[in-house]
A and B are shown apart, each in its own frame.
Chain A
Amino acid sequence: MIPPAFDYHAPRTVGEAVALLGSLGSDAKLLAGGHSLLPMMKLRFAQPAHLIDLNRIDSLRGIREDGATIRIGAMTVENDLITSPVLQARVPLLPEAAALIADPQVRNRGTIGGDIAHGDPANDHPALSLALDASFVIAGPTGERTVKADDFFLGLYTTALAEDEILVEIRVPAFAPKTGWGYEKLKRKTGDWATAGAAVVLRLDGGTVSYARIGLTNVGPTALRAAAAEAALVGRPLDDASIDAAAAAAMAICDPAEDLRGDREYKTAMAGQMVRRAIRAAAARAQ
């Protein structure tokens, strides 16, 4: 219940934060929303000697339209994703999916950046980022670089983020007209992590799928890009057969950890079911 003692830093700029991270090294952890880190510290699973609180850096918040790209500050909290008129209009998958994350209070603190940077396969934004073809802007001692979501999630709690870097922005292409989307998340109760989740973004040309991206939540050591499932859809008419094929292809790449939510068989089967549901939801919206 009680975290171990630590020193606390609250930089006001990204530059300050990067400098602190550099000088304190692995003794430091970044504090974003705190709803992953602080519980771990209260259970003493994490015992950083220093916390670098990012909450005072105003430049890390906000959602802006930059032509056809939507730029989301990494410290934007989930509830602000939900209420954003920009996202509701241009990337409606995000507000809808954010409402399925945690609970109302946690969503006032939990950030999109924290959800991504942690490298936790149970979090939702990684799979959403894959489905959205998002890119991540990263600040480090030598400046900024951009990494595509496809290249960011490397393994369990392992991302392309170096120890001395901070995720500062998420860039998402605004939806083209007639883009359909869906996020289906099977969970034991409100606030739980996904037993299995599927994010789908697709476009139809007549009855044929012209574009599809599918991301899977919590059925592997990282979020999974279900490329074979996408291939089972693209260029084909969307019907029961192609949906079943996509689901089967998604299931084939699942490698879920067994826990009290389910064993491998159940989680894999549910990934398939969530893919089916998300495709159907997306198709209905793509009209």
Chain B
Amino acid sequence: MKEKVVVEGFENNLGTRNRKGVLWYALFQASTIVGIIALVALMLNIINGAFGYVAYEAKVDPDTLSINGVAVQDQSKEQLVALLQSKLSSGAFNKLNSDKPFESRTREEVYQVVIDRIIRPQIVGVWNLWPSLTQATEIRATVVKDHPKAELDFVSWLTSGFVKRPQTSEPLTAGVRTALFGSLWTILFTILLAFPIGVGAAIYLEEYASDNWLNRIIQTNINNLAGVPSIIYGILGLAIFVRSLEPLTSGEIFGLVDPTTANGRTVLSGGLTLGLLVLPLIIINAQEAIRAVPRSLRNASFGVGATKWQTVWSHVLPNAIPGILTGTILAVSRAIGETAPLIVVGASTAISFDPSSPFSKFTTLPMQIYQWTSRPQDEFRSLAAAAILVLLMLLLSLNAIAVVLRNRFSRRF
């Protein structure tokens, strides 16, 4: 017969302990769920802003502009130009023509001018997606009551036109092309600065540097730089690139720009500033990739008489490059989303022309989003939401590339 061993007091508080365990498990799980809910709320909030009803009144009814029953949106470019000539003052027409001659504009551009200058739709009300879906009849009733002449449309603020159109001050015709090009131009210079120096530094630290005080300082310094707030880099960029190196970053010494209007707040300054910002990230990521290449590969190469650089160039780098590129893409997507340093460096308000050289004034997607978000009118919030969707899609595709690179080309040793 077995004897039951009873430890005095062992089971006394077992129930409490288990209940406590279940309670805390629920709390830990709840915090995870809160994190996911936050992400979902963030996304839904953006989608909520990017679609919905818009009520607008046209200053000139488009129906009155039709010629022989051909509605204004179907007219040819020549007819539209003639329309502009007849409706605008000759001074305004000539100014448009001298900004960019009508012969060289496409039909779509001319049509855009017709909308901006003649039809001039004015927004009288904007609703987000959720009220648009749930209270459609009330919205209709309010619009009919308050603005009998207004037209109510369910619009998506994010359209292909939104991506293709330049920035304007009119919410209905504003687009992000200027900002998108600005972002791409800046990123180009960011990569040109940060990629070679970053990879070079990583190679130095992993392959060449001996363990002495100088190299330890360099390594610690890089780790610390990675934690410096991005706005500090903006201030640094303002002092160095915008101000001290103004002749260079404004393009003055190349004689490419008009020296009276040129200043250092250019694409080049912005890109270099972001380059300094992502440099530590690129170095740290590249170091990890290089460290993952096994020692034996190097030893084999040295064994057949290769020099240090030959080993690095033909054996270490080819094996590390997928990791280096993945890390660089992640760092670049951080740069694309950066706003604060560019506001300090760029300080541009409204730019409606695409950047055409390193010495152009610029705006970028996040700056554009900031600008639209900080305006009080609802229509600009909707524009900001649509621009955020463009930005997130850009970042998502970059990250997808990084994942593909990592999965396809990474080798396990």
Answer whether A and B are interacting partners.
Answer: no
